[in-house]
Structure 1
């Protein structure tokens, strides 16, 4: 394993453990029956952590693909291992999130509700957003891991669905969680971060397109 990958793996793991523990502890302060509500607490903690992982994953991905990084910063050797580590941890925490919510007898989501959009007994529309985002993550992840199963360059087009996935998860978290007011600042900061990153990413793309077009016009 490369030194960069080991470094990012250790750092991300430490941060994730801290975020999950803090989220569960904060949520437990509002729940009198902690033992009975343990699956919900774990589901909420792992869900918040997965959301933050997705936030970092999308932002790092946009920085990786940006023109400044490719032409001037050249930090891909550091950022790509981080991007990959974040993806692995995201998968792990999504699995933990779904598993714990299935064990929660108070949530009334069930196996069908978790994997079939619209069948959840608890807040079906927000849960539906989470289910759709799950399948989008699977498609994006599989095509990124095995790009050769698609025609040349098509995996990148599918990879851009990550931004749509983030939007779905964003609203899934806001409207599913009963403790959303306590996490309002987190949603505002993370949503703003992705919005700024997306704006800058596509602003650079547009600027580059305009420069290229201008040069072509000058040549012709």
Structure 2
């Protein structure tokens, strides 16, 4: 019987666990927002209940994102500063992949702030900013895949596949239940949703699933991090 040696610090494990949970929750938030919008909204459940669940999941996502960011900064291995939690692509450690996660967090914070000011901003402006949440999801997904040192683990790969399948299924459900009209927009949305798994699969095959990915990511750090 073999045992798995735990070589990382508790902060490292806390950062990875909270980041994974945040991705799962964000996937649920995005999928729920897509599947319950417009004519696709279920008739057996009231919109108030759906809206309340959507809001609570969003707040819980931010809680785990905060834990993820704090534990990553406190972990002495990467030597990150507090600025990287809000300023994208400013880290010396894997700046590209960390920057994607920071950009996703900034988009979600913009959605939360504008939601609190919804009455002052108006529905149109609020909806325009609210769409940023959908852009935050692929950024968070690629952040986890590119940064995570456990990406090659089968369980983690299945988790990413589940997140992808959930959002793509929600998009296709929304397109199918939208009714007649806006065929071009529906087709474009379906193609964009399908493109994400294709791009992610190609990236995994060429990057994180290949031996030496950690060293290649470190080379990106040298190029973008001022030679450190």
Q: Does 1:68 align with 2:40?
A: yes
Aligned to 1:59: 31
Superposition RMSD in Å: 2.2
Report the alpha carbon displacement of residue 127 of structure 1 after superposing the two structures with TM.
0.5
Q: Does 1:40 align with 2:15?
A: no
Aligned to 1:189: 162
Structure 1 pair 158/209, CA: closer, same or farther in 2 (3 Å)?
A: farther
Aligned to 1:141: 112
**SS at structure 2 position matched to 1:181:** coil
Aligned to 1:31: 6
Aligned to 1:164: 135
Structure 1 pair 114/210, CA: closer, same or farther in 2 (3 Å)?
A: closer
Choose between structure 1 and 2 for higher RCO, CA contacts under 8 A separated by at least 6 residues. Answer: 2
**Number of aligned positions between the proteins:** 179
**SS at structure 2 position matched to 1:180:** coil
Distance in structure 2 (CA, Å) of the matches to 1:156 and 1:45: 31
Q: After the TM superposition, which parts of structure 1 deviate over 6 Å for at least 4 consecutive aligned residues?
A: none
Question: TM-score normalised to the size of structure 2?
Answer: 0.71
Distance in structure 2 (CA, Å) of the matches to 1:29 and 1:181: 15
- Structure 2 portions without partners, runs of 5+: 184-228
Structure 1 pair 125/210, CA: closer, same or farther in 2 (3 Å)?
A: closer
- Structure 1 portions without partners, runs of 5+: 1-27, 212-220
